[in-house]
Every structure is written in structure tokens, then in C-alpha cells.
Structure 1
Amino acid sequence: MTRIKSWADHPTRPHFQPPAGAVDAHCHVFGPERDFPFSAKAKYLPEDAGPDELFALRDSLGLSRNVIVQASCHGTDNGATLNAIAKSGGLARGVAVVDPEISDGELAALHAGGMRGVRFNFLKRLVDHAPKDKFLEIAGRIAPLGWHVVVYFEADLLTELTPFLEAIPTIVVIDHLGRPDMSEGPDGPEMKAFRALMDAHPNFWTKVSGAERLSRSGPPFDDFVAAVRPIVQRYSDRVLWGTDWPHPNMQDDIPDDGALVDLIPRLAPTVDLQRRLLIENPMRLYWPELCSTASAQSGSLEAPG
């Protein structure tokens, strides 16, 4: 299998300056392979994109923290993600992918290592088997840890998956808005179905990320902005944003991360919406202990200087 590079070496500096403490709430690390081999079941084989590169990008984009989501190419071995969290100096947390038979002790170790959620992937091109019954068992076991569930699926599965999603006893974060068809605009049937789901379930959140994947028109992603800005405004306390660096499997249309950051004020046009999207919401989900401390001391949620 040929190794894939899916990120730009020199992304532009964004014109938009994120507020201090801003969180990239959806990104990944790949390897390095010599220390963290890829899964034998991986559907793609990326080049190394480790924590040093991720944190350098974070700084160059004016961001402060990362939420590192376990990449499917590493399977259920979370070593690469845990390694990146450990190297972050407290500025990263993670979302794990776990084997259904994982022990309570192993879950506790993941928590100690900075994991705060588990991801269930239903994209058939990335995973061979997605057992809903086993996933629900895992969701029940992580609930006492205060974790949440991240779910990745495409819009044509929304109706089928809704009973499963409704049975999850934690906060549910839907990756990339459930990949709806952006060409139909904010009132297209898939966007309407997604909003109906969010309206019905106050424990459902979403990541307003993936413009480079979901836009049909391409840069400057006007169709994505038109469809997603109403989501940010309507569910301002339940939205997250992330770069999706290093953009798995996007070697043919590598995005400019600086341009993705410049979408933020178009998606969240007020300072209040920007703070909720970039700071308050991800901090509540991934660093709740800092939120409690900051609230008690009337401090801020910004990254330590």
C-alpha cells in the first residue's frame, strides 16, 4: 500500500486571529510508524504526521489547544494519540477508539492518559464492522467516567442510526454534521433532517468541520458557510470546530489550514459565537475541571501562558 501525504507543508497564515485559548477540537496524529505501527486492517497508510508537526501547526494558526481523535489507520491501539497528549504539556485531550472487550482497568488508563471520549465509526470505506450492540455496551461503561461518544457516519445512514444514537446515555458528538449534501443549501432535506435530530435531542452536539470534504463548490466554501452558519447560530452551546489535520485520505485536494481557520468568522460572525465555538464548548467537554476552577475564581478559560 502506498503511503499517503494529505496535508500542506506551508499553510497560509490566517487573516482571522482566534481568541486566546481557542481549541482545535478535531485533529489527528499518524505515527510515527517506527514507534506506533499502523493497524493491519488500515484502509489507508499515511506518512508520519506526529505531535511535533501538529503542535507547530497549532501555534502557527493562532490556536491554543488540541483534541486529538484516534485515527482509523491506528485501529484500537491508541498509543500514538496518547503519546501526543503526553507531549502536549496539558494542552491536548483525546478521543479513543476501543475494542468492545476492553477492560475497566484499560479504560481507566486511557482516562489517566487524557482520553475523554470514544469514537464509533460507521463509514464502510474505513471500517469493516460496526457492532451497534457492542458500541452501546461501551457507551454505558464510559458514562461513569464523564466521557462522551463521537459518531462518524454519512447522511444516508441517519434514519437507520437514529434509534442507536438515541440509546446512547452520554453526550453524543456527530462528526462533520453527519456529512450532509451541502449543494442543497441550508434547507435541503439532509440539513433539515439533521436539524430535526439536534432539535429533538439536547444531548446531541456536532462538529462544524470538514468544509474541505463536504463543500461541492470548493474554496472559498460558500456552500458550506451558507448551510452551516445557521447550525452555529441555532445550537451555539453544542457546536465544536476543528481543522481535521492531517486530513486523512485527501491527497488529491489538500486543503490550506489557514483558509479553514478563516472560515471561522463566516460560520460564527459574532465574538460571542466565536468564543462559544472555540473555547467555551470544547473546554466544557474536554477540560471541565478547568471550567469549574475558572468559574469559581472568576478567571478565564484561556490556555496558560
Structure 2
Amino acid sequence: MKCDSHIHIHDRAFLKQPRPQGFVDNDDVAAYRKVQTRIGTQRVVIVTPRVYGTDNAVTVDAIRQFGIGNARGIAVLNPDVTDDELAALDQGGIRGIRFTLYTAKNAAVGFDMVEPLARRVAELGWHVQLHWTAEQIVEHEAMLRRLPAPMVFDHRARLPSKDGVHHAAFDIVRSLADAGRAWIKLSGPYLDSAVGLEHRYADIAPMARAWVQAVPERLVWGSDWPHVTETHKPDDVFLIDLLSEWVDDEATRERILVTNPAMLYGFAI
């Protein structure tokens, strides 16, 4: 069963304020089911959107609607979360926590929280998901090597298109992946592309292929639906078709879409 390993659900029922900036109407479970039909995936990993801060109820509810057999979630937490709350999230299908720190504007947590929370979630078998810039990965290399929990690097580790695999972050993340400690998401090509959708994010392809060549057993794919950063949103069918351009052989695509996410998120194989 194929997995989309990175989406966000926006459900008005879970908002604490009328309409926060960044909220997207009608991008709920029902809307995403239609996307699943179009792109041919059956499993999904839901990441709590920034508009909900550290309230993960929308994600846990979405897992319930999809069914925990084929859905998992990534929460956003701070260190005052209780052990009972962690246990309830685990029961609800949460398997990791995200640190969106690439810009202070969108950060609900801080770098000082990464290690304390990583120690706590490691005991549950969870991972830490890192949406950091490539420069931040280099700056915090020592901390990354100390973390007791597995790591998942969002959006190809955010390697800038001008540097690509020559950026020092590539070697850092690759060494962690080679050691069995890290995974990389092939997602969000628009976030670092200079040429954009009009040119099929062509400047991202060499970096994506480099990850496939280097560590195919440590990659998962995500659509990043509903693409809240984009004014001109890409078609999700186009995005999954891009994977076929980045990955030459069917066996490796099967690994990225089926086997790897099953291992990372604990789905039945």
C-alpha cells in the first residue's frame, strides 16, 4: 500500500480563533480522500499545521477518520507535555514530533527544546522531524549527532538549489542516514526551486536524484498537500509523477512509497 508521508489537515472545528493566518478552508479529510484517489495512495502521514500551534487534536481526529491501520501523525509539542498526554498521542497514532525552525516567524517551539523532547519521545519509539534550513543543519550538527531519537529531514533537507549536494548539509544528513539514524522526505520541491512550477522544478531534480542514488533505503515521499506556501499550487498528480522522473526503476519507487514508510511509521507490510 502506497503512502503519502506528508500532508496537513485544516479543519475549522478545531480552530481556537475565527480565522488565523495560514488557515486553508475545505482542506479537510474529505478533501484529501479525493486526492488519494487521484494519486493512487492508500496510506497517509498527517503533520500538525502551524495554525494549530501545539494543539494536535486536528491531527489525532484525522487519523481516527482515516483509520489508524493506514494513517499516522506527527505532532508539535513543547517540553511541558505530560507523560499521560504522550501516551494518549501514541495511542492515537502519533509517531513523531516536528520542529519547524527554518524561520522564527513560523516556529511554535525552539532549538533549546529539541534535545529534551527527543529524549522523551525516543522512549516511545518516535522520531523527531526537522524542518530546518541546510545552514541550520550545519550549525547544529553536534546536537544532531547527540540526539537519541531517529531523525526525519523535511523537504530534501532544504538544500538550496544553487549549492545542491555540494552544501555541507548533504554530507551531514547522508552520514546520519548511512548510520541508520535519519530519513529524508522527497517533498516540497517548490520550497527551494528558483525556476518554479513553470519549469517543473527542474533545478531540484539533481538533488532528488542524488538522495535516491545515495540512500534509497532511507527515503519517503510526501505531497505536502495542501501546499499552503504556494500561490500557484501544483497538481498532486504532477508531484507524484515527478517521483518517476527522479527515480528510474520501479523497485526503488516501491521502496520509497511502500516499504520505507511502513518501516518508519510502523505500518503493516
TM-score norm. by structure 1 comes to 0.81
Amino acid at match of 1:156: E
Indicate if the aligned counterparts of 1:132 and 1:164 stay in contact, CA closer than 8 A: no
For residue 41 of structure 1, report the CA deviation from its aligned partner. Answer: 11
Larger RCO of the pair (alpha carbons < 8 Å, separation 6+): 1
Gapped regions of structure 2 (runs ≥ 5) = none
After TM superposition, the structure 1 = structure 2 runs for residues 174-253 of structure 1, keeping only pairs within 5 Å, are 174-184=153-163, 186-187=164-165, 189-190=166-167, 193-201=168-176, 202=179, 203-219=181-197, 220-250=200-230, 252-253=231-232
- Partner of residue 262 from structure 1, selected from 226, 241, 246: 241
Mapped to 2, the partners of 1:41 and 1:135 lie a distance apart of 29
Q: Is the 8 A contact 2:15 2:52 kept in 1?
A: yes
| TM-aligned CA distance change 1:39 to 1:94, over 3 Å | farther
Name the residue aligned to 2:28: 50
**Corresponding residue to 1:65 among 43, 57, 80:** 43
State the Cα distance separating 1:194 from its structure 2 match.
2.6
Please tell me whether the aligned partners of residues 69 and 81 of structure 1 are also in contact (alpha carbons under 8 angstroms).
yes
Alignment partner of 1:135 is 2:114? yes
Q: Could you tell me whether the CA contact under 8 Å between 2:8 and 2:48 is conserved in 1?
A: yes
Mapped pair 1:282 → 2:257: no
Identity %: 32
Cα distance between partner residues in 2 of 1:53 and 1:38: 22
**Rounded Cα–Cα distance in structure 2 between residues aligned with 1:257 and 1:195:** 27
CA contact (8 A) 1:39 1:74 kept: no
2:216 match: secondary structure: coil
Deviations 1:158-203 (A, max 9, x none): 222212222211110010122121144x44x32xx23211332221
One-letter code aligned to 1:265: S
Q: Which has the higher helix share?
A: 2
1:256 and 1:84 map into 2 onto residues whose CA distance is 22
CA distance in 1, matches of 2:262, 2:105: 29
Distance 1:129 1:30, change over 3 A: closer
Q: Distance in 2 between matches of 1:145 and 1:194?
A: 28
Contact 1:233 1:273 in 2 (8 A): no
How many Å separate the matches in 1 of 2:85 and 2:27? 26
Residue type of the partner of 2:76?
Answer: V
* CA deviation after TM superposition for structure 1 residue 221, in Å: 1.9
Instruction: Tell which structure's C-alpha radius of gyration is larger.
Output: 1
Which AA in structure 2 matches 1:120? F
RMSD: 2.0
Decide which moves more: 119-128 or 169-178: 119-128
Q: 1:26-50 CA distances to partner (integer Å, 9 max, x unpaired)?
A: 111011x1x1005799652332411
The answer to whether the aligner puts 1:110 opposite 2:89 as a matched pair is yes
Task: Report the equivalent of 1:151.
Answer: 130
Distance 2:24 2:117 in 1: 28
- Corresponding letter in the other structure for 1:181: P
Displacement of 1:77 after TM fit? Answer: 0.7
**Structure 1 gap ranges (5+):** 1-20, 291-300
User: Which segment drifts farther, 215-224 or 94-103?
Assistant: 215-224
Equivalent position amino acid for 1:83 in 2: D
Q: Which amino acid aligns with 1:263?
A: L
User: Cα distance 1:129–1:70, how it changes in 2: closer, same or farther (>3 A)?
Assistant: closer
Q: Distance in 2 between matches of 1:181 and 1:241?
A: 19
- Cα 1:171–1:268 shift into 2, 3 Å: same
The secondary structure found in structure 1 opposite 2:35 is helix
CA contact (8 A) 2:78 2:109 kept: no
TM-score (norm 2): 0.91
**1:136-178 deviation per Cα after TM superposition (whole angstroms, max 9, x unaligned):** 1111111121111101111232222212222211110010122
